[in-house]
Amino acid sequence: MRDYRIVYLAAAVLLFLVPFTGEYATYLTGLALLFGVAALALNVLLGYTGLLSFGNALFFGCGAYTVGLLIKHFDITAIEILFPASIAASFVVAVLVGFICVRHTRIYFTMLTIALASLFYALAHKLRPITGGDDGIRVYETYIFGHEITSIIEFYYVVLIFFIASILILRIILKSPFGLTLQAIRDSELRARFAGISIMKYRLGAFIVSGVFTGMSGALYALFLGQISPDDVLGLTRSGEFVAMTILGGFTSFVGPIVGAFVFTYLKAFVSSVALYWYMVAGIIIVGIVLFVPMGIMGEVERRIRGF
Amino acid sequence: MIPQIINGLIFASILFLVATGLTIIFGILRVVNFSHGSFYLLGVYIAYSITRLSHDPVLYLASPFIAGTIVGGVGMAFERGLLSRVYGRGELFELLMTYGMIFVFIDVFRIGWGTMPISDPTITFMLGTVSIAGYTMPLYNIYLISIAAVLAVVLWFLLFKTNVGMVIRATSFDREVTSSFGVNVNRVYALTFFLGCFLAGFGGGLMLPITGAWIGLDIDMLIIGLVVVVVGGLGSIKGALAASLLIGLVRSFGISMFPAVELAIVYVIMIAVLIVKPSGLFGGVEH
Amino acid sequence: MELLKTERLKKYFGEVHAVDNVSLEIGQSEFISIVGPNGSGKTTLVNLISGALMPDTGVIYFEGKDITKLPAHKRVKLGIGRSFQIPMVYEFLSSLDNVLVSILSRDRYSSVFYRTVDRFGEARKEAFELLERFSIPLRLVAELPHGHRKLLDVAMALALQPKLVLLDEPTSGISLEERDQVMGTIADVLKEKKVAAVIVEHDMDIVAEYSDRILVMHEGKILKEGGKEILEDEEVRKVLIGE
């Protein structure tokens, strides 16, 4: 085993320095950090529990809309209230949705996550008086302990702190007995049951962890971007992007989804700025990964390191 | 009542075509084709291009069949050229590949047919109207429902009364055993994908005069198709038929009675069915 | 009081009477072998007792408590462990982690999510010792040969420290030379921890050497039961050789 702590430290320093390179890079990196947490949360289900969720935008949107709705209807602008509220909301939604989904595995689970996310999408879309429909909600003038956050740079550091804290917490969760038990269930549900493990309970647990972390990143996304809409935070494409990022980075590796989120976010920004056809490129990338690098970037890197 | 029922049946017909394609492909290949909505949309666009050639009513009526055949061919090429390369690597990768194709198609549509919605109701004017129980409605609506019903019967005949159908159904039970009887499983897969995509493209072609096409319809159609398949039971054609009728009619009445939440009602039905019967209305054992 | 008791246990698969009216009793730390030709219902019986299958009719008591309706994972918690004919292991975990999952579950630590596994030194040490005892190398399970996977499966069941363990052909796929040693190790552990065992076995030498009692199954019924002398019984021989 090598010590990668130095790599992590270097990455943290680099991320700390990003705002000095300009607003656009800060904005982009902030997004990558948020998507990184969401992709990591998706991988709690995919890589660690063996469940493919194609509906995690449900939680992302849940976090984002909790912030949006509280600001729009109740004039709550204190992040120290908005953020815990979105944690609570995504927790409740994860429990309810989880009860329906975790009884199923494999493709049935995947289709259910899509359908349930679509339910929330349809509600956000149609309940115009409450959600603003297609136009979404503008999120602005938010405060943290009485201090108004105005610049994107300040927001970036909030996001960065959230990112680092999330990674540390998720790392402990995934290396805990709970995390080990999830991996056991992934590899052999039958054996795990005969080790005395209640499969449903643990799947639900994984679903809640995934939902809450995705919800938190959604909440910060709303605050960071200042604008949310159903298509952006609740659509199938948003869920699909989390999956694409995770696969691109490698679902067999802990840091894979983060790497995937960064590569995907920067690539999307770059391609969209030079060519009209980002969708085509995205599609070809997804098909290409599936064909040629199914273990993703980090899966490939780790294989090479082991090979030497 | 009558207009809602007719509208519901139109919607049910299209859902049936789309969901049956999805369910047949799943039954045989064990792949949920995420690009199914895109194949549907491709069908609408191709029918649109065909009917640009001439305003002959025969061409209008033939266009869904031609569009369906072309879409089926595209689907088969996709299955042979790309999807078949990842068989055996697990459903994650098969699923992702069909998901990736959604995006490739989006830009194909934008390049080929532009970003504005298209539609062409000419044929509904050509065919005129009929009166049913005092309600006047386009004859085309009745034609659409009838042709979908005929296709359902043909499909049933094809799958349950012909040798090809027997081979297809045998493959869905056990591919190893079937191939040991000298059946070329690859050919069955290709044929199945052709059939599934034909149904999607055909359904799309039929809807050109009624809803037309716009980018975004692909994903809408995929999701509602998935809902029908989940409610009916994955892999069950009977289930697809029952769920299409249920959801088609519910949605039609929902639109006229609770327009704000009509789509939500559909999802609530799905959740209710799954809580009572997790494998869907006609689903057997999972996996 | 007997540890486990079944009353008129019945499981039909369509026309096949897999287990037909089986009533049996197993005492504390008793070693019982089930023998019989393929399809005689041995594995089905193990599946019924462990909770992998639910019986059509009949009752199962464990330590006097009716467990007929209890799901498998709860039976494990009461003290019924099992291994599988085709080894069921966690492919992408290390052999140590495979055993560790059982130990953590037994000690009710599985749901702890705020401490990493490294901090469970006792449990890791126990898992390591169990691996050593069965001579299973510390490696990713996907890289282990069949024999080691088979043993690992048994080790995972024993790590639960059950009161009763059901072992479905524990020595199948293990070379003839190693069989004695492997079975010896398993028997030692069973004796040491006072675990009752039901094993399904085809190797009659092993059956004769270790069993306190032997059950002969045929067409879902218990044909004969007794000491190793019943292996010499005319009817039993006919059934077993008929295989």
Q: Which residue in B86, B89, B278 is closest to A104 by CB distance?
A: B278
Rounded-to-10 torsion of CA A51, A57, A59, A65: -170
Give residue B175's pLDDT: 67
Contacts of B84 (CB under 8 A, 6+ apart): B186, B189
Separation between Cα atoms, residue A197 and residue A189, nearest integer Å: 9
What is the residue whose two structure tokens read 């975990």? C93
Buried b (16+ CB within 10 A) or exposed e, A61-70: bbbbbbbbbb
Q: Do C101 and A199 touch (CB under 8 A)?
A: no
Dmax (CA) of chain C:
62
Distance from CA of B112 to the nearest CA of A (A): 13
With 50 as the cut, is the pLDDT of residue A166 above it?
A: yes
Cα A195 → chain centroid: 31
CB neighbour class for A158 (10 Å; exposed up to 12, middle 13-18, buried from 19): middle
A120 near A114, Cβ under 8 Å?
Answer: no
Q: Is A20 on the interface with C (CB under 8 A)?
A: no
What is the residue whose two structure tokens read 């039609």? B252
| Count of Cβ atoms closer than 10 Å to residue C158 Cβ | 23
The tokens describing A68, both together, are: 């949006």
| Euclidean distance between the first and the last CA atom of chain C, given in angstroms as a whole number | 36
Distance from CA of C232 to the nearest CA of A (A): 36
Give the chains touching B; criterion: ≥3 Cβ pairs < 8 Å: A
Q: Do B96 and A282 touch (CB under 8 A)?
A: no
What are the start-end ranges of the H helices in chain A?
5-17, 23-49, 57-74, 79-101, 106-126, 128-131, 152-175, 177-187, 189-193, 199-225, 230-234, 236-249, 256-274, 278-292, 296-307
A248 near A300, Cβ under 8 Å?
Answer: no
Give residue B285's pLDDT: 46
Give residue A1's pLDDT: 45
Within the 169-208 window of chain A, which residues sit less than 8 Å (CB to CB) from chain C? 172-173, 175-181, 183-184, 186-188, 190-199, 201-202, 205
Backbone torsions φ then ψ of C81, nearest 5 degrees: -110, 165
Give residue C229's pLDDT: 85
Separation between Cα atoms, residue C83 and residue C158, nearest integer Å: 9
SS3 A155: helix
Distance from CA of C170 to the nearest CA of A (A): 15
| Euclidean distance between the first and the last CA atom of chain B, given in angstroms as a whole number | 40
C29 near C196, Cβ under 8 Å?
Answer: yes
Distance from CA of B242 to the nearest CA of A (A): 19
Task: Please give the average per-residue pLDDT across A118-147, as a whole number.
Answer: 86
How do C65-66 and C57-62 pair as beta strands? Answer: antiparallel
Q: Is C122 on the interface with A (CB under 8 A)?
A: no
Q: Which residue in A178, A194, A201 is closest to C112 by CB distance?
A: A178
| Count of Cβ atoms closer than 10 Å to residue A25 Cβ | 15
Q: Is B166 on the interface with A (CB under 8 A)?
A: no
Distance from CA of B268 to the nearest CA of A (A): 8
SS3 C224: strand
Q: Which helix (H) or strand (E) holds A147?
A: strand A147-148
A90-94, A256-260, B18-22, B279-283: least confidently modelled range? B279-283
Separation between Cα atoms, residue B275 and residue A63, nearest integer Å: 26
Domains of chain A, residue spans: 5-234
The tokens describing A76, both together, are: 């709550």
Select from C78, C113, C150 the residue whose CB has the most chain A CBs within 10 Å, as the one to mutate to test that interface. C113
The residue ranking higher by pLDDT, B287 or A127, is A127
Q: Do A194 and C109 touch (CB under 8 A)?
A: no
Task: Please give the average per-residue pLDDT across A281-304, as a whole number.
Answer: 90
Domains of chain B, residue spans: 2-214
Distance from CA of A179 to the nearest CA of C (A): 7
Chains B+C touching (3+ CB pairs under 8 Å): no
Per-residue confidence band for A16, with pLDDT thresholds at 50, 70 and 90: confident
Q: Do C111 and A183 touch (CB under 8 A)?
A: no
Query: Considering only CB atoms, which chain A residues are within 8 Å of B217?
Result: none
Q: Which residue in B99, B104, B267 is closest to A115 by CB distance?
A: B267
Distance from CA of B100 to the nearest CA of A (A): 4
Select from B38, B93, B104 the residue whose CB has the most chain A CBs within 10 Å, as the one to mutate to test that interface. B104
Alpha carbon separation from A115 to A195, B53, B221, B248, B265 (Å, rounded)? 33, 39, 12, 17, 12
Domains of chain C, residue spans: 1-79+162-243, 88-160
* pLDDT tens digits for range C117-142: 999 999 999 999 999 999 999 999 99
Q: What is the mean pLDDT of chain C?
A: 91
Q: Which helix (H) or strand (E) holds C214?
A: strand C213-218
SS3 C198: strand
Q: Do A178 and C73 touch (CB under 8 A)?
A: no
Q: Do B223 and A290 touch (CB under 8 A)?
A: no
Q: Is B230 on the interface with A (CB under 8 A)?
A: yes
Give residue C136's pLDDT: 93
Within the 82-111 window of chain C, which residues sit less than 8 Å (CB to CB) from chain A? 82, 84, 88-93, 97-98, 100-102, 104-106, 109-111
Q: Do B82 and A287 touch (CB under 8 A)?
A: yes
C212 near C31, Cβ under 8 Å?
Answer: yes
Residues of chain B with pLDDT under 50: 285-287
Q: Is C72 on the interface with A (CB under 8 A)?
A: yes
Q: Is C38 on the interface with A (CB under 8 A)?
A: no
What is the residue whose two structure tokens read 């499983």? B185
Q: Which residue in B92, B100, B264 is closest to A287 by CB distance?
A: B100
Task: Please give the average per-residue pLDDT across A134-147, as a whole number.
Answer: 84
With 70 as the cut, is the pLDDT of residue C168 above it?
A: yes
ipTM field: 0.92
Q: Is A243 on the interface with B (CB under 8 A)?
A: yes
Percent of chain A with pLDDT over 70: 98
Percent of chain C with pLDDT over 90: 69
With 50 as the cut, is the pLDDT of residue A164 above it?
A: yes
Measured between CA atoms, the residue of chain C closest to residue A197 is: C73
Measured between CA atoms, the residue of chain A closest to residue B223 is: A115
The residue ranking higher by pLDDT, C112 or B282, is C112
Per-residue confidence band for A307, with pLDDT thresholds at 50, 70 and 90: low
Give residue B281's pLDDT: 85
Separation between Cα atoms, residue A153 and residue C191, nearest integer Å: 67
What is the residue whose two structure tokens read 């549509």? B109
Q: Is A112 on the interface with B (CB under 8 A)?
A: yes
Task: Please give the average per-residue pLDDT across A71-95, as a whole number.
Answer: 92
With 50 as the cut, is the pLDDT of residue C143 above it?
A: yes
* pLDDT tens digits for range B178-237: 776 777 888 889 999 999 999 999 999 999 999 999 999 999 999 999 999 989 988 888
Q: Which CATH superfamily is domain C1-79+162-243 in?
A: P-loop containing nucleotide triphosphate hydrolases (3.40.50.300)
Q: What is the mean pLDDT of chain A?
A: 91
The tokens describing A287, both together, are: 């098909």
Give residue B176's pLDDT: 67
